[in-house]
Structure 1
Amino acid sequence: MDRFSEPTYRIHIGLRRAVDVLGAGGAAFILAPLMLIVALAIWIESGRPILFSQIRLGQYGRPFRMYKFRKFGPDCHSQGCPLTMEADGRLTKVGRVLAVSKLDELPQLWNVLRGDMSVVGPRPESLAFADCFRNGFEKVHQHKPGLFGPCQVMFRHESKYYPDGVAAVDFYRKVLFPAKAEIDLAYFSRRTLASDLGWIVRAAWVLATGSRVEAALGDRPNQQK
């Protein structure tokens, strides 16, 4: 945000926070019945806990507790791969629907209201990949993580990117993480409130229609095999 003077920067941050609170608060109110249905479906199928929480990396690399609807079995979140794969055996039946629809993300509206996250921002990364934020990629942490953004739209079907015969965690570290970080750095250094709104609308359209917006990975996968 060095392109802003100090007073302008404070106004800019204040406007973004107001948009976050109004947007997340309004969405939570409107979507409350849907969240109740999701919670009930999880409880009927696999009991408690309804929510899953995990420490993620926030702005300036500060850890915070992020919330989601639970999509794995009650005892599976601490086991195995830190990534969700396309045919992940840990997913419950309800969890598979949540993974495709992204409804598991709805509890993060609370994170937005708390100030941990923003409506638009880079996805908060797992501590398992904290060491990937180097060689310039640490600049992603200058921005508050968010529900929506370029990577959330372009990598909505991330689980389909993993090639057979390649360790998922290695592929994420060498290919997907750098691709995401480059996209985030390119966008968030020049973002505006109008462009953020554009990504919210685009994300809503993709979720509502099921259309796909693919990330351009070029020949990265072949280079890393």
Structure 2
Amino acid sequence: MDENRSAALLFKDGNPSVGNLIRRSIDLTLAGTALVIFIPLMILVAAAICCESGTPSIFSQPRLGLRGRVFCMYKFRKFRRDCGTNGSPLTMDNDERLTLIGKFLQKTKLDELPQLWNIIIGNMSIVGPRPETLHFKDCFNGDYEEVLDYKPGIFGPSQVLFRNESSLFPSHVDPTEFYRSTIFPAKAKIDLAYYPRRTIVSDLCWILRGIVAVFGYVPPLYLNAPTESEGATDRKIESCSATPP
């Protein structure tokens, strides 16, 4: 094992390093505090969902976690109750499955508040790659498999840069195939450029950037939209940065 590989392993979650112990302490402190602060808001959101479309207000979905282990990620329900689990794994702009409250939750990202519990019980971290659905499990091949060496999180470089992901899909391509061929590889490259050399300070900076992104400011992300004849695989990222602040 070369020196660079050995150094990178120290930053991977699940290894008993001082940095990971500090990171876990920060996770528990921030998630516990946020849960207490946001409980009144979460009760209001749950009540609004129940009033509009009935129960349940919270649902769980299998996601890929650390080392590829499957865990149940919690979210506020954005879709109608009759949508089932056989639809698209992606939420698009003006998705017909969204309820009125669901559209608000999608825009504000308040549907992710229940994931504070995922952080407390150790499935997720405040900062980490976004956990993928099992539908995209096969995307973690080759070098991209290393993304699973890091505990998934709510905030992170790819979450901030792809804050408005649902607006990036061209109308003339299949969304799922476009995600596989273009968006997933872009996210994976961003994550693999950041997490092997992350620091506690840079993680805290991405938390702040994530909060700012929720309120509307997202760093520029330039994509070359393909023409209908080019296909989705020709869409490339021209510039985006995931270097530690």
Task: Place the TM-score, normalised by the shorter chain, in its bin.
Answer: over 0.9
Structure 2: runs of 5+ lacking an equivalent: 235-245
Deviation at 1:217, TM superposition (A): 3.7
Question: Mapping of 1:29-40 within 5 angstroms?
Answer: 29-40=36-47
Distance 1:195 1:9 in 2: 20
Q: Equivalent residue for 1:142? A: 149
**Equivalent of 1:187 in 183, 189, 194:** 194
Q: Equivalent residue for 1:163? A: 170
Question: What amino acid is aligned across from residue 160 of structure 1 in structure 2?
Answer: S
When the two structures are superposed, what TM-score results if normalisation uses the length of structure 2?
A: 0.86
Q: Equivalent residue for 1:115? A: 122
Q: How many residues align?
A: 222
Contact 1:175 1:220 in 2 (8 A): no
Contact 1:179 1:217 in 2 (8 A): no
Deviation at 1:115, TM superposition (A): 0.2
Distance 1:96 1:213 in 2: 23
Q: Equivalent residue for 2:243? A: none
Contact 2:19 2:200 in 1 (8 A): no
Distance 1:121 1:167 in 2: 28
Structure 1: runs of 5+ lacking an equivalent: none
Question: What amino acid is aligned across from residue 171 of structure 2 in structure 1?
Answer: D
Q: Does 1:96 align with 2:103?
A: yes
When the two structures are superposed, what TM-score results if normalisation uses the length of structure 1?
A: 0.93
Deviations 1:37-94 (A, max 9, x none): 1111101100101112110000000000000000001121413111000010000000
Which 4+ residue blocks in structure 1 deviate beyond 3 angstroms? 216-223
SS of 1:53's partner is strand
Q: Equivalent residue for 2:221? A: 215
Distance 1:100 1:18 in 2: 30
Distance 2:223 2:66 in 1: 26
Question: What amino acid is aligned across from residue 22 of structure 1 in structure 2?
Answer: T
Q: Equivalent residue for 1:78? A: 85
Distance 1:65 1:206 in 2: 26
Q: Equivalent residue for 2:211? A: 204
Distance 1:45 1:52 in 2: 16
SS of 2:83's partner is coil
Q: Equivalent residue for 1:10? A: 17
Question: What amino acid is aligned across from residue 64 of structure 2 in structure 1?
Answer: L
Contact 2:170 2:225 in 1 (8 A): no
